[in-house]
Amino acid sequence: MDLMSRYPDNYFDLAIVDPPYGILNKTKRGGDHKFNMKEYLQWDKKPEDEYFNELFRVSKNQIIWGGNYFGQLWLRSEYNKGYIIWDKNQPESLNNFSMAEMAWSSLDKPSKIFHYSVRKNRNKIHPTQKPIELYEWLLKMYAKQGDKILDTHLGSGTIAVACYKAGISLTGCEISESYFNKSMEKIKENLSNIEFDLSIPNAYSITFPNQENETHELYEHLIEQNRQLRIFEEAQTEYETENANA
Ligand SMILES: C[S@@+](CC[C@H](N)C(=O)[O-])C[C@H]1O[C@@H](n2cnc3c(N)ncnc32)[C@H](O)[C@@H]1O
């Protein structure tokens, strides 16, 4: 919410988001259980209406993973055409595992299915990590060069790798420091020449070579806003340290 509040209406061309589905507590299923389930339980809380309202304010179009869990999305339109399925190629016999995941989308396009085995999703650093290939396919189908993409729940950051490879700009954030740090390592491992703009507190955005020199009114405004935030934070830390020593 903090990140989105900094952007004007319709700033992003496309939001590709994967918020918590809020299912772990109910079903004890979902995600990869080799990860820390206590940590997973802490963040697996469905976003409220105000999150979706803000998301629809800052972005022109949206692809929202776990759309089947967010009933309010289906009431936004008279018809919901362009939903997206990821067929995970799970055998039918594995009763406890979903064979697919679905994304709700605002796009007035035919429904599509992406076939990609969940077992190819190797070297995971996050319990609900989606494959880079899935994001690459989404960008190929629904985004174009010059688009600004938003992801409010980065998790492992696989979307960042896909965006970078596609030459598309991404702004994203992640609330968990440990996931964030792991995702940064992973991204740097995949993309040695990547440039991050880490000046936004609690979030990161990535600048790509073709957009580096762009001087945008809003960007300048954000730089100023962040400069002021940093000054405020430094002053606050100084004040707290002085008081602690007194
Ligand atoms: C379903 S996972 C996203 C997985 C990601 N798509 C991937 O492929 O790795 C949801 C993520 O949202 C993060 N999260 C939960 N609440 C959040 C919030 N209010 N703001 C930002 N991130 C949040 C969680 O820490 C978790 O990493």
In a domain, 224, yes or no: no
* Atom from ligand 1 closest to the CA of residue 156: 9
In a domain, 241, yes or no: no
Tell whether ligand 1 has an atom less than 6 A from the beta carbon of residue 130: yes
Atom 26 (ligand 1) nearest CA:
155
**Residues in the chain with pLDDT < 70?**
25-30, 33, 192-239, 246
Tell whether ligand 1 has an atom less than 6 A from the beta carbon of residue 40: no
In a domain, 178, yes or no: yes
Q: What is the dihedral of CA 70, 75, 76, 81, to 10 degrees?
A: 90
Tell whether ligand 1 has an atom less than 6 A from the beta carbon of residue 20: yes
The one-letter amino acid code at 230 reads R
Rounded Cα gap, residues 159 and 162, in angstroms: 5
Q: Exposed (0-12), middle (13-18) or buried (19+): which is 143, by Cβ within 10 Å? A: buried
Task: For residue 19, report the distance from its CA to the centre of ligand 1, in Å.
Answer: 6
* Atom from ligand 1 closest to the CA of residue 31: 1
**What is the pLDDT, as a whole number, of residue 60?**
97
Residue-number span of the structural domain to which 54 is assigned: 4-215
112, 92 Cβ separation under 8 angstroms:
no
Task: For residue 18, report the distance from its CA to the centre of ligand 1, in Å.
Answer: 7
Q: Please write down the HEC assignment for all residues of 99-153.
A: CEEEEEECCCCCCEEEECCHHHCCCCCCCCCCCHHHHHHHHHHHCCCCCEEEECC
In a domain, 16, yes or no: yes
In a mutational test of the pocket of ligand 1, which residue from 68, 153, 178 has the highest number of ligand atoms less than 8 Å from its CB?
153
In a domain, 239, yes or no: no
In a domain, 229, yes or no: no
Q: Exposed (0-12), middle (13-18) or buried (19+): which is 186, by Cβ within 10 Å? A: buried
CATH of the domain at 129: 3.40.50.150
Task: For residue 242, report the distance from its CA to the centre of ligand 1, in Å.
Answer: 36
Atom 2 (ligand 1) nearest CA:
155
In a mutational test of the pocket of ligand 1, which residue from 5, 36, 38, 43 has the highest number of ligand atoms less than 8 Å from its CB?
43
Number of domains in the chain: 1
What count of other Cβ atoms lies within 10 Å of the Cβ of residue 10? 12
In a domain, 109, yes or no: yes
Atom 5 (ligand 1) nearest CA:
155
In a domain, 234, yes or no: no
User: Look-up: residue for tokens 């985004």?
Assistant: 143
Tell whether ligand 1 has an atom less than 6 A from the beta carbon of residue 153: yes
Rounded Cα gap, residues 204 and 193, in angstroms: 16
**What is the pLDDT, as a whole number, of residue 79?**
81
